[in-house]
């Protein structure tokens, strides 16, 4: 969908002006570059927290590890005022401005309801087939989430639903890759043209499998040529539209990477397909490294492997409690891997540079 430049600029100016009046946030200063190895590694991690008020143990961990961001679930939200207070607390406690993420997809995956607009599932939009409707609703979501202090939405889902039994289900726009691409672009533009970063997920192939990666590792036996004809179509469109982030799934793709490992931990998928073949230069994020598909590897080792494979953001998140020791071990093992030469510090620097660029493009906010 083409957006009139003058109208967009005027709309952006109006939104910025209204935010000054209605939103008690002030923009944080542009993030400074982390200096020590520990600071750099901390910026790679986005983690979840429990409850509607941050616990002292979480704030201590945030200050100690200097996380790059947090992700919010429904159990973190009661009202707009409560969330602004929570985010003001964590932003002030953090040594660096935080990315503030959530999955506000619509339909079955809605984290915030009270006091914000909610919208249908992607499957419903697929049946309607209107890019204008998708764009308008994504713009409204962006305005709502920005007013709460969010900076990154882990949406849209761009999986092509090739298997009706896929757990992706109504989270997908449907089985038509061209329609999925058009609607995904409309959503990305709706978010990002209204100051909320967007994420194209899940790379790649979950629309083919009936296995849920929250429980175990699915396998998709499609070749690169087969994926290029269907599944890569929306991702190519998302990249061309300037999507800020791609989230990589925990799915084995043995026809592409013969080592049986999740795409999220695969240099073949991240370096060769996402970076080289598709030419993506933005931020690559893993799906949560606390999911069942990772159980055989373990979260700390998975964090090391994902970074070595080329991922930028290492997501450790759940709507249930994750023992603090798991996150501590993950951070410490990544630091140890760099110190041991398993991963170069320049590799860390490239990811940190991309994360800082994302933060600068979509600056977080804190209660003033």
Within a domain: 10: no
Within a domain: 294: yes
Catalytic site includes residue 144: no
pLDDT score of 33: 81
Please identify which of the residues 137, 159, 180, 287 carries the catalytic annotation: 287
Instruction: Report the pLDDT averaged over residues 301-316.
Output: 98
Q: Per-residue confidence at 30, pLDDT binned at 50, 70, 90?
A: low
pTM: 0.90
Domain extent at residue 99: 43-367
Within a domain: 252: yes
Please identify which of the residues 124, 212, 214, 328 carries the catalytic annotation: 214
- How far, in Å, CA of 223 to CA of 201, rounded? 19
pLDDT(32) > 90: no
pLDDT score of 366: 46
Rounded to a whole number, what is the largest CA-CA distance in the chain? 55
pLDDT score of 211: 82
pLDDT score of 130: 98
pLDDT(341) > 50: yes
Please report, for the domain that includes residue 210, its CATH number.
Answer: 3.20.20.300
The residues near 71 (Cβ < 8 Å, ≥ 6 apart) are 46, 47, 48, 101, 102, 103, 154, 315, 317
- How far, in Å, CA of 217 to CA of 206, rounded? 11
DSSP for 151-182, written as a single string: -EE---B------TT-TTGGGS--S-HHHHHH
Number of folded domains that form the chain: 1
Catalytic site includes residue 287: yes
Within a domain: 267: yes
pLDDT score of 215: 84
Within a domain: 14: no
- How far, in Å, CA of 62 to CA of 57, rounded? 9
Within a domain: 330: yes
- How far, in Å, CA of 338 to CA of 271, rounded? 19
Whether omega before 202 lies within 30 degrees of 0, making that bond cis, reads: yes
pLDDT score of 12: 36
How far CA 103 is from CA of 17, 94, 110, 119, in Å, comes to: 27, 22, 7, 13
- H/E run at residue 130: none
Q: Per-residue confidence at 323, pLDDT binned at 50, 70, 90?
A: confident
């Amino acid at each position: 969908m083409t957006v009139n430049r003058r109208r967009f600029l005027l709309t952006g100016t109006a939104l910025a002006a209204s935010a000054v009046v209605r939103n008690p946030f002030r923009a944080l200063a542009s993030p400074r570059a982390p200096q020590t190895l520990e600071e750099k590694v901390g910026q790679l991690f986005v983690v979840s927290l429990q409850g509607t008020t941050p616990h002292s143990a979480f704030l201590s961990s945030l200050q100690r590890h200097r996380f790059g961001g947090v992700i919010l679930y429904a159990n973190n939200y009661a009202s707009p005022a409560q969330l602004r207070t929570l985010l003001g607390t964590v932003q002030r406690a953090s040594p660096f401005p935080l990315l503030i993420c959530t999955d506000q997809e619509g339909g079955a995956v809605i984290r915030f309801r009270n006091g914000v607009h909610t919208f249908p599932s992607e499957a419903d939009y697929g049946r309607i087939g209107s890019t204008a409707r998708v764009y308008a609703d994504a713009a409204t979501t962006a305005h709502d989430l920005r007013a709460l202090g969010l900076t990154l939405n882990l949406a849209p889902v761009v999986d092509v639903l090739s298997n009706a039994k896929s757990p992706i289900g109504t989270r997908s726009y449907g089985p038509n890759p061209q329609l999925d691409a058009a609607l995904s672009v409309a959503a990305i533009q709706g978010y990002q043209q209204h100051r909320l970063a967007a994420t194209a997920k899940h790379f790649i192939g979950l629309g083919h499998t009936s296995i849920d990666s929250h429980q175990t590792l699915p396998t998709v036996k499609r070749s690169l040529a087969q994926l290029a004809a269907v599944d890569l179509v929306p991702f190519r469109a998302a990249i061309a539209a300037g999507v800020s982030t791609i989230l990589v799934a925990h799915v084995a793709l043995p026809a592409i990477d013969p080592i049986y490992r999740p795409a999220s931990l695969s240099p073949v998928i991240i370096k060769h397909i996402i970076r080289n073949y598709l030419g993506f230069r933005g931020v690559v994020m893993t799906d949560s490294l606390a999911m069942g598909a990772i159980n055989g590897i373990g979260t700390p080792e998975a964090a090391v492997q994902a970074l070595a494979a080329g991922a930028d953001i290492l997501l450790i998140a759940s709507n249930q409690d994750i023992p603090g020791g798991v996150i501590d071990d993950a951070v410490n093992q990544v630091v140890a891997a760099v110190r041991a030469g398993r991963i170069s510090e320049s590799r860390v620097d490239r990811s940190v540079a991309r994360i800082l660029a994302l933060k600068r493009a979509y600056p977080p906010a804190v209660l003033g």
